[in-house]
Amino acid sequence: MKGKSFEEHLIENAYKKLEELVENARNLVDFSEKDFQILANRKEILLSWADEFAHEFYETLLRYPKTAKIFERISVEVVKERFKKWYVDLVSGKGGEEFYKEQFFIGLVHIHNKIDNNLMIFMANHLKRHFLGKAFKSFQPEEAIYVFQAFSKLVDFVVALTVEGYIFTLYEGLLDVAGLKPSLVERMMKLKLEEIYKIFKKDFVVHHD
């Protein structure tokens, strides 16, 4: 029987990873379709913030020289439009498989555009804080917290998808380029990680007498 092609193998493993992440989120942070619905029920208000958030996103990136370099590769308008589309999709109640796959793909886009995960994580936190401020101005305190919690869970889930998509594609790409079996790589990495662990334990861990 003919073995699976790289494309078939890649897609199959990506689906497995997506299912794993959804299951983890459901069990650890009570993530569910209800979170999408909470935002969708207030879509009109939340969508009215899209342009402001897109502008704030762009301005924040531009203020820091390291992130400002992004605009050497991607135009300002493209960045703003991509962010706005992402935000609109998030608060419009578009959950389900297609939404998850698209968010997973964002990790690949980040690799392609040389955007580090730590920058994405910090910007996600920046957005959540900005969203919280707007929520308290637009809703009663109890409702503001309720809406923010749903938004925060979705953003955290998307961040997890993006990070895992980033790692997944690098790992799968490396395996294909090197022509190595996953089991062999795992054994090699285990040995190397033990070595790295000892190095950092020696130099980074503070010992108290």
Q: Model confidence over 160-178: pLDDT tens digits? A: 888 888 787 777 777 777 7
Contact status, residue 145 vs residue 138, Cβ threshold 8 Å: no
Domain limits, the chain: 6-180
- The pTM for the full model equals 0.83
Mean pLDDT, rounded, of the chain? 86
C-alpha torsion angle, residues 163, 168, 196, 25 (rounded to 10): 50
* Residue 207 DSSP one-character state: P
Please, are residues 153 and 91 in contact by the beta-carbon 8 Å criterion?
no
Does residue 1 have a pLDDT over 50? no
| 167 CB neighbour count, 10 Å cutoff | 14
CA 40 vs CA 32, 33, 158: distances in Å: 13, 11, 17
Comparing CA positions, the residue from 49, 65, 43 lying closest to residue 147 is 43
Token pair belonging to 185? 């790589």
pLDDT in tens, 114-158: 788 899 999 999 999 999 999 999 999 999 999 999 999 999 988
Q: Domain 6-180 belongs to what topology?
A: Globin-like (1.10.490)
Whose CA is closest to 50, among 125, 104, 127, 107?
Answer: 127
If you average pLDDT over residues 105-119, what whole number do you get?
Answer: 81
CB 83 within 8 A of CB 54: yes
Q: Is the pLDDT of residue 50 over 50?
A: yes
Residue 167 is predicted with a pLDDT of 80
